[in-house]
Amino acid sequence: MAEPLNVLYRTFDGFERALATQVAHFQGLHPGVTVHLEHCGPEELYERMIGQDGAHAGQYDVMLSLTDWLPQLMKRGGLVRLNGYLAADPPEDWPDGWSESMKALQHDASGNVFGMAYHDGPEMFHYRSDLFGNAREQAAFRRAYGYDLHVPLTWDEFLDVARFFTRPGEGLWGAVVAGQPDGHNNVYDFLIHLWSRGGRLLDEKLRPAFDSPEGVAALRFYTDLLTIHQVTPPDAMAWDSVLSGIAYADGKGAMMWNWSGFAATAELPPSRIIGMNRCTTIPRGAGPKGRHMSLNVYWVLGILAGSPRPDLAWQFIKETASREMDKVTSLSGGTGTRLSTWRDPQIQAQFRYYEAIEEVHRNVESPPGLPEYPAMNEVLSDMTKSTVSGAKGVEEALRDASQACAQILAEAGYLG
C-alpha cells in the first residue's frame, strides 16, 4: 500500500502547475509514496491551520504558509523545527544558495528554522513597455502634462500617468489595483504607501507610529485612488492579488504594483501582453522622506507539528527546494526563491523581472515578526475597508486603528 503525504497550499494557478510537476518528480524518486494536494484561499488556510489549530490535527503533513503567520505558528508549536534536518540532510547549496532576505523570516529569535522558502515576493512595479515606448503616446503626454512620459518615480507622477492612460472605451485603465479588503494586498498596499513616504508602522518601542502625517498621506492616496480618481477598473474592489494580476495580464491596465510573480503571469498564455511587461522599483513619496521601498513577505513550505510522517515531509520539502524544482516554480508562473533561479539566463530571458529582483530585495521591509501581527493585520484591513467604503474619514480611521493596535500590543505585554 502506498504511503500518503498530504500537502495543503494556497489557491493559485502558478502553485498548482508547479506542484503538479514537483509531485510527479518526487513520486518518481519515491515510488511507494502518493502525494495528495489540497488548496484553499489564504483566509481559509489561515483559519483552518492556525485559527482552528489544524497544524496539530494530523490531517496534513506539509503546509504552504505565508511568512506573516510564522511567528504565531512558532509560538504555538505548530511547525516542526528544521535545524536537525538542515544539518544532517540539507537541500542543494544550503545555505548560500539563497539571499538573506529569503532566509530571515522563517527563523525565531533563537535562530531556529521552521520553513523553506517556496515562492518569493517582493512586490514590484509592473508597467507596459509598449505603451511607455510609443512615440505617439509620448508626444501626447508631453502636450498634456508638460514633461516627458517615463516610468513614474514618485506617486504624484504615477497619478499623472494613470490619468493619461485611463481609457474605459478601449478597455484600458491607468492602474490595476487589488482592492478586495481580504487582509492581504489592501494591508500590504497601505504599508508600501506608508514606507515609501518615510513612515513607520511601529516605533523602536513597538508603539504604533502610523497615525502620522505619512500615514495620513498614505491612506488618503490609497483611498482616493480607489474611490475618486477613477483610474482603476470598476471591478477592482472585487479583485484580490491573483485576480488583479490576471486582469493586468489581460491588458486592462498600464501599470500595477503587485507581487513579482505576476510578471510571470503576464508572460504565460492566455496573457495578452506577453513580451510587453517590465518591472522596476516602486514609486516613492514626493517629500524629503520619500524612498523607493518594497514589501518582502513570501511563502514557505513547513512540516506541520501533527504530521505522522515528518521525515518523509522533509524529503519532499528538500527536493522541492532543489535547483531544478525551484526553477520549475518560476517556469510554472510562481517565483522561485534561489539565487540560481534569479540569475538563470533562461528565466531572465522569459521573465524579465528577474533582472531586477535582487536589486529590489536590497530595499525591502516586512511586517513585524510578532505572534500578534495577524490580529494587527485585521485591524489594518478594517481600516482601509472603512475609508474606501466611506464609513470613516482617513484621520478617524487611522486614529481608531492605532488605538486598536496599541491595545493588542499592550495586552501581549509589549507596552508598559
Q: Output the domain CATH number for residue 164.
A: 3.40.190.10
Which of 348, 365, 382 delimits the end of a domain? 365
273 in a domain, yes or no? yes
Q: Please tell me whether the peptide bond between 374 and the residue prior to it is cis, using omega within 30 degrees of 0.
A: no
In this structure, are 291 and 301 located in the same domain?
no
- The 10s digit of each residue's pLDDT in 103-134 is 999 999 899 999 999 998 789 999 999 999 99
Residues 383-406, mean pLDDT to the nearest whole number: 98
Alpha-carbon gap, residue 38 to 54, rounded angstroms:
14
In this structure, are 302 and 343 located in the same domain?
yes
pLDDT for the residue numbered 359: 86
pLDDT for the residue numbered 416: 66
pLDDT for the residue numbered 149: 98
pLDDT for the residue numbered 360: 86
Sign, CA torsion 189/192/194/200: positive
Q: pLDDT averaged over the chain?
A: 96
275 in a domain, yes or no? yes
5: confidence class by pLDDT, cuts 50, 70, 90: very high
Total structural domains within the chain:
2
Q: Which of 73-87, 159-173, 332-346, 352-366 has the lowest mean pLDDT?
A: 352-366
In this structure, are 167 and 114 located in the same domain?
no
In this structure, are 173 and 48 located in the same domain?
no
416 in a domain, yes or no? no
Alpha-carbon gap, residue 117 to 106, rounded angstroms:
8
pLDDT for the residue numbered 243: 95
Residues 345-371, mean pLDDT to the nearest whole number: 91
391 in a domain, yes or no? no
DSSP 8-state code for residue 51: I
1: confidence class by pLDDT, cuts 50, 70, 90: low
- The 10s digit of each residue's pLDDT in 278-314 is 999 999 999 899 999 998 999 999 999 999 999 999 9
253 in a domain, yes or no? yes
pLDDT for the residue numbered 169: 97
301 in a domain, yes or no? yes
**Bridge partners (DSSP) listed for residue 277:** 128
HSE toward the beta carbon, residue 326, CA cutoff 13 A: 27
328 in a domain, yes or no? yes
In this structure, are 86 and 12 located in the same domain?
yes
255: confidence class by pLDDT, cuts 50, 70, 90: very high
pLDDT: is 287 or 95 the higher one? 95
Q: Are the C-beta atoms of 296 and 122 separated by less than 8 Å?
A: yes
In this structure, are 279 and 311 located in the same domain?
no
In this structure, are 245 and 347 located in the same domain?
no
394 in a domain, yes or no? no
Residues 402-407, mean pLDDT to the nearest whole number: 98
In this structure, are 243 and 315 located in the same domain?
no
Which of 295, 325, 348 delimits the end of a domain? 295
In this structure, are 139 and 265 located in the same domain?
yes
pLDDT for the residue numbered 2: 79
Write out the residue range of the structural domain in which residue 20 sits: 3-121+297-365
Q: Are the C-beta atoms of 196 and 283 separated by less than 8 Å?
A: yes
Which of 322, 346, 365 delimits the end of a domain? 365
In this structure, are 130 and 260 located in the same domain?
yes
Q: Residue 57, class by beta-carbon neighbours within 10 Å (0-12 exposed, 13-18 middle, 19+ buried)?
A: middle
In this structure, are 281 and 137 located in the same domain?
yes
363: confidence class by pLDDT, cuts 50, 70, 90: confident
Q: Residue 38, class by beta-carbon neighbours within 10 Å (0-12 exposed, 13-18 middle, 19+ buried)?
A: exposed
pLDDT above 90 for 264: no
In this structure, are 129 and 263 located in the same domain?
yes
pLDDT: is 260 or 16 the higher one? 16
